[in-house]
Amino acid sequence: MGTAKTDPPASGGGYGGRTVTAGENARLKKKRGGLCDSKSLDDWARGGIVDYKQIFTMRRLWAMFGILMTVMFAALLAVGGRVYQQAPPIPEEVRAGGDVVFSAKGIHRGRDVWRQLGGMQLGSVWGHGAYLAPDWTADFLHREALAILSARAGGDFESLDEIAQAPLVAVLAREIRRNGYDAKTGVLTISEERARAIQTVTRHYINLFAGESEKDEALRKQYAIPNAPGGGMSAEDIRAMSAFFWWTAWAAATNRPGDDVTYTNNWPHEPLVGNRPTASTFLWSIISVVLLIGAVFGVYGLLGIGLMLFCLRGLAKKTAKWSDGILQWVFWLFNGGLALMVFGSILPQGFLQGYESFARSYWHARTAEFMHSQWMEALVWARVPGDIIFAIAALLLILFVLKTELAPRK
């Protein structure tokens, strides 16, 4: 009386080599209208015992969707509201000695120009964006500081020894980090010396984006910037874009009112202006690496593939055959390819660049010299085996879906 009637199990039959209990049989009878035989658990699922429509009713699906949307948008609104409240201000005017250097309109226009060139597909700001081309925040900040220091040194600042450089850097750091923004008038006041340095950096960008010399073309090639980007840029467009780059650099090097850290938590790291990463910068860098691994292995692709197969299983349960053999290969090849890419190429590059960022400066870690160094180039090519394995897994998955969809119906 303790167990229900079952057929003699075949090799590996039954439910993992055991009989079905009376309670299990009663539940299965309710679903299937009869006694359970000695099929394996896989055969049980293939036979239609798992009723997707009964488990995932429209009511439950809508409830899950509603809860997910509520949590997601609540988090977005909470974080977005905090970001908006603490965002660095865009000054109505930037003045030096009574002259207007930049305006809010020009900064906004410069942002639009950069977006037209591809935005974060062409370099980055505040460390967010593509690794092709420099981080424009770090680049402008470094070049601006170097121009001021060289002018004060009466020549090439970098040719001085550390003892001669130290007092110049200390004075500049205090000046650069002082916040000259007046929230009541919306005016940001800078020194005429800094305005001249801004002009020097702007000329560099005009040559970089529109120059025709061999040196300009060589630098564009190193940064993966096409000749005549955006179909050709006018000097006014480049000046406007430089205004936007400068504003990001100003926010990165200027202390928040009443605080001793900048609007971007002293990021990017630039010793010339006293930008040294805070403890929270290190903490969030580590968290970012962990989230990157989790995202690569889960959110971006594999969970989506799993959901697709889950739905396909329900839709295709009446097909002639559902074979897990190909899917096992797909699973291991996807994860193996991703593991090779992440641990053999992406993470080592990230660690090398992270070390260079904290040891020297973020500007140097994004230069063409470092990005095309021997180790970085080798790690780029080290990604190829993982890419190939990943591509094979994708092809097998496509083959499985086509085979399942095109299989003859019972």
* pLDDT at res. 185: 95
Q: Are residues 39 and 94 in the same domain?
A: no
410 belongs to a structural domain: no
Question: Which of the listed residues 209, 242, 276 is the one where a domain comes to its end?
Answer: 276
* pLDDT at res. 26: 58
Domain, as residue range, for 64: 51-85
Q: Are residues 323 and 226 in the same domain?
A: no
Q: Are residues 268 and 296 in the same domain?
A: no
> What φ, ψ does residue 291 adopt, rounded to 5°?
-65, -35
255 belongs to a structural domain: yes
Length of the chain counted residue by residue: 410
> What φ, ψ does residue 102 adopt, rounded to 5°?
-135, 160
Q: Are residues 5 and 41 in the same domain?
A: yes
How far apart CA 244 and CA 124 sit, in angstroms, is: 12
Q: Are residues 151 and 262 in the same domain?
A: yes
What is the average pLDDT value for the chain, to the nearest integer?
81
How are beta strands 187-189 and 93-96 bridged, if at all? parallel
pLDDT at 20 over 60: no
* pLDDT at res. 51: 59
pLDDT > 70 fraction of the chain, expressed in percent and rounded: 79
Confidence of residue 165 (pLDDT cuts 50, 70, 90): very high
Question: Which of the listed residues 276, 302, 336 is the one where a domain comes to its end?
Answer: 276
Q: Are residues 160 and 245 in the same domain?
A: yes
Instruction: Please confirm whether the linkage preceding 268 is cis (ω < 30° from 0).
Output: yes
Per-residue pLDDT, averaged over 176-196, amounts to 95
Confidence of residue 12 (pLDDT cuts 50, 70, 90): very low
pLDDT at 244 over 90: yes
Confidence (pTM):
0.70
Please tell me which residue, 18 or 334, carries the higher pLDDT value.
334
Give residue 106's identity as a one-letter amino acid code. Answer: G
pLDDT at 371 over 50: yes
Cα angle vertex 104, ends 99, 106, to 5°?
80
> Which tokens sit at 82?
């905090």
**Which residues fall within 8 angstroms of residue 69, CB to CB, at 6 or more apart?**
none
Residue 127 DSSP SS3:
coil
287 belongs to a structural domain: yes
* pLDDT at res. 140: 96
Question: Which of the listed residues 276, 297, 322 is the one where a domain comes to its end?
Answer: 276
Q: Are residues 42 and 65 in the same domain?
A: no
| Residue 80 burial (C-beta neighbours within 10 Å; 0-12, 13-18, 19+) | exposed
pLDDT at 171 over 90: yes
370 belongs to a structural domain: yes
pLDDT at 120 over 50: yes
Give the range with max mean pLDDT: 53-57, 129-133, 342-346.
342-346
172 belongs to a structural domain: yes
* pLDDT at res. 328: 86
* pLDDT at res. 277: 78
Q: Are residues 98 and 211 in the same domain?
A: yes
Per-residue pLDDT, averaged over 374-382, amounts to 89
Range of lowest pLDDT (38-42, 56-60, 164-168, 228-232): 38-42
How far apart CA 345 and CA 361 sit, in angstroms, is: 22
- Any idea what DSSP says for residue 346? I
Q: Are residues 115 and 237 in the same domain?
A: yes
Residue 275 DSSP SS3:
strand
Q: Are residues 147 and 268 in the same domain?
A: yes
* pLDDT at res. 11: 41
Per-residue pLDDT, averaged over 340-362, amounts to 83
Per-residue pLDDT, averaged over 317-326, amounts to 66
pLDDT at 18 over 50: no
State the total domains in the chain. 4
328 belongs to a structural domain: yes
Give the range with max mean pLDDT: 87-96, 115-124, 203-212, 281-290.
87-96
Q: Are residues 21 and 141 in the same domain?
A: no
Burial track 89-120 (b if 16+ CB lie within 10 A, e otherwise): bbbbbbbbeeeebbbbebbebbbebbeebbbe
How far apart CA 66 and CA 89 sit, in angstroms, is: 36
Confidence of residue 321 (pLDDT cuts 50, 70, 90): low
Q: Are residues 105 and 231 in the same domain?
A: yes
